Chain A
Amino acid sequence: DQQVKQNSPSLSVQEGRISILNCDYTNSMFDYFLWYKKYPAEGPTFLISISSIKDKNEDGRFTVFLNKSAKHLSLHIVPSQPGDSAVYFCAASAAGAGSYQLTFGKGTKLSVIP
C-alpha cells in the first residue's frame, strides 16, 4: 500500500525547457513534503520542501506546488540543465501526528538532454 506515489519512472526533457515531476499521496495526515535529488552512488540530497499550510514554495529554478484537495504535489525545474539529470524522490511526513518517518515514493529518473 503505497502512501506516496510517483507514477512516472522516468522523464526526458530538453535542456532549457521545463521539467515537471509529479507526486500523489494518500495519507491525509501528511503535513510536510520534501523533494530529494539522488545521483548514482550517492545519498539523497535535500532539494526543496513545502508545508501543508502553503501551496507554493520557490527556490531559484525549483518550485514545488501543493494541491491538498487533490493530494498532489509537483516539482517544476525551469530552465532544466544537464546537471539536473538524477533520480528525484518525493517524500512526506506526518510530523504533526508525532511520526518520525519520512515516507518516500519510488522516484522519477530525470534525463535532461543537451
Chain B
Amino acid sequence: NAGVTQTPKFRILKIGQSMTLQCTQDMNHNYMYWYRQDPGMGLKLIYYSVGAGITDKGEVPNGYNVSRSTTEDFPLRLELAAPSQTSVYFCASSYSTVNTEAFFGQGTRLTVV
C-alpha cells in the first residue's frame, strides 16, 4: 500500500540551480496538490491539479511549475532556486475536493544555499 510517494527525501541546491520534485500516487485519485511548510507555519498550497492535463495555481505559486501528464504523477519543478524556497514540500492527493481528506507523502526537505 504505497499511497503517495515523493522523491527525493532530502536535497541541497545551490542558488540558481534547478530541480524536479517527483510525486506519484497509486490510489487513482484525480486531485493532486503540492504544499510547502516553512518552520513554525502551516502548509501552504503551491499548485494543484484536478486531473491529467489540468493544473492551476494555489496560494504561493511563484518560482514553481507543475505538469500532470498522467493521473499518477504530479512533478513540481523549481527553475532558479532561491533561499526563500528552503522548505519542506509535501505532495498530496484526494478522491474528491468535497468533504474528503487528502493523503500526503512523507515530504521532501529542500535547502537552498
Contact = CB atoms under 8 A, between A and B. Distances in A.
B59 to A, nearest CB: 7
Contact of B59 (A4, A45, A95, A101): A101
B100 to A, nearest CB: 8
Nearest to B38: A106
B112 interface: no
Contact of A100 (B6, B41, B42, B50): B50
Contact of B43 (A44, A99, A100): A44
Q: Which of A42, A44, A99 has the most CB of B within 10 A?
A: A44
Interface string B82-111: 000000001010000111011111110000
Contacts of B104: 36, 43-45
Interface residues of B, number: 28
Contact of A42 (B45, B102, B107): B107
Contacts of B59: 101
A42 B106 contact: yes
For chain A, the bracket of interface size reads 20 to 34
A101 B45 contact: yes
Given A41-B107, A101-B48, A93 B42 contact: no
Nearest to A6: B42
Interface string A87-114: 0010101011001111111110000000
A46 B101 contact: yes
27 contacts: A9-B40, A32-B98, A34-B101, A36-B104, A43-B4, A43-B90, A43-B106, A44-B104, A45-B104, A46-B102, A46-B103, A49-B101, A93-B97, A95-B99, A96-B98, A100-B50, A100-B97, A101-B58, A101-B59, A102-B45, A103-B42, A104-B35, A104-B42, A106-B40, A106-B41, A106-B42, A107-B42
